[in-house]
Structure 1
Amino acid sequence: MLEATDLSVEFAGRGGRRARAVDGVNLSVGAGEIVALVGESGCGKTTLARTLLGLERPTSGRITYDGTPLSYTGRALKAFRRQVQLVLQDPMGSLNPRQTVYEAVAEGPRIHRLPSRNTAAVAGSEVAAAPVDEEALVASALSRAGLRPPERFFHRFPHQLSGGQRQRVVIAGALALDPKVLIADEPVASLDASVRGEILSLLLRLRDDLGLSALVVTHDLGLAWNIADRVAVMYLGRIVESGPTEDVLTDPQHPYTQALLSVLPESPQRIVLTGEPPDPTRIPTGCRFHPRCQLVAQGNGAPACSTQPLPILPAGASPQVACHMAGVDQTAVSSSGS
């Protein structure tokens, strides 16, 4: 449904240098599939999501939707965004505090000029072929988002709702346009733990009932385990490991993925990475993770880790990893080194 091919996004940095926020990414989201894009803050996840939505122009590479390259003309982008909708992290920031729930959900169909029965009566034959009852459309979207009975919420304002209800209103606003793909940027990060499961269950139900595809951007691998069919792990602008969720999270091959998984409560060993993510204007030579890699720090890395660049991973469903040490028996390496 949605695919990025050799995608790169650069921004102007200090001293005339260019910051490579996204640096050669291949990523696909299939029909009815949920893909989790995971990584720590600053790795480029949100920039990639914004670029997939057409909110940022790629420096190079391309985005295709349903096999057609994305065009950046106003009309083409408007048609594209009706099919690909965004769910943001902070529902209170996404909603206008002066708009009722009804107005918030109806805003998308009005912007995209979905014909209502009222406008059909005025405009005559131009839109009379497929009139839409706006009130029924809003009620249906709220119901699908789990706010029932929907009429009870029509005249409420965001401050009168709980955090979970506000996030459902944001999701309903996206559903009102009947999209094919949702891009959810940290959709439960601002919610209480008791509400997170409800929103995740809602996303799964929407996938099953409506056939929606979704790209879920998160730093929480536990969330990815519960919701995603595939996982793509991003570090410093590039996908470093990807594959089916069970393969990646039960047998991670990249040291970065292993470190991310080690913070989960059931992890037997905590891996603490040293330092901060490198400056995207100064990408390290060789493997871009090697300055913080626990294997290199322990003396178990290969000479190529700091000198030889790794190939860009292609988009695909099979397990893939960009690491010089992937598949190497670390016990044997440690023994030979000692």
Structure 2
Amino acid sequence: MSIIYPGAAQIDEAAALLDAGELVAFPTETVYGLGGDAENPEAIARIYAAKGRPANHPVIVHLAPAGDPAYWVQALSADALKLIDTFWPGPLTLILKRASHIPSAVSGGQDSVGIRCPSHPVAQSLLTAFSARRGGHGGVAGPSANRFGHVSPTTAQHVRDEFGSAVHVLDGGAADVGIESTILDLSRGFPALLRPGHVSPQAIADVLGVAPRLPDGTDATAPRASGTLKAHYAPRTPLALLPFDAIAPLLAAHGEGSEKKIALVARKSSAGEWASAPNVHFIAAPEDPQSYARDLYGLLRALDRANVERILIEKLPESIEWIAVNDRLGRAAAAFEAQE
């Protein structure tokens, strides 16, 4: 079913709300964002309050296609310009030194700022309309439109499920990418991947001529960035990420007479007879990284509604192609590791 995008009047209404310091949830190609005026500390505070987000956890500034990224940063490096020319509009966030006139609230008090230009047409229309109200320099701070630490929304209904009528929502259909943007830090003189996403390390290396430093938990000087806490992106139902040979005994121990089923997300080739077991709610895992990423958050939200006792997910290959999905699943599982 095709989505009818918001018209000019709806876009202008949403831009006026942003201009007045209110919040607007809007679609991007990655996930839905909870937007507020990036230069209004009170609006930024409303974002943090609505999400229950720690005040030191930065948000990303979203810019219109014709926006000026140089307005937001101290300087645009040659590397930044190359990446902008190649990947914007698109799911790549760049971390650079923040311009002095940009409020530190948007950066969680740091001297850096994350900026990106989304490719979704509704996001672009909203950002363009809002920027026009600000002399061409308007930017929208927009973390994912969900309660902090929980599963990100990839449809307008997901946002409504989180916030009800408390937040104005622009409906742009289901997100194409399905997981948050790649975050690349350029604020320290070398490229460092802080959060993997649709734009791969290899694609970045192809543009820059040097591979970005990959996140390994040892980069003590890295700026804080959205979605990089150990536990994040978690459903409300307990979730474990395990090799299938560790999952099978757990399924076997879960009797058919149990009140609730156990959810199993695995490849069909791995699941075997468990795919049709009466005590198992089976979901066939997508076979390729892009499809898995696009379906992941919707799948987790659906499993929260399925009234299952637990979610068991088959561990994925450790190859670079799966780095982004592995990142999200690992953080989701980490939210429950202390409960094991």
TM-score by length of 2: 0.30
- Structure of higher RCO (CA pairs closer than 8 Å, 6+ residues apart): 1
Larger Rg: 1
TM-score by length of 1: 0.30
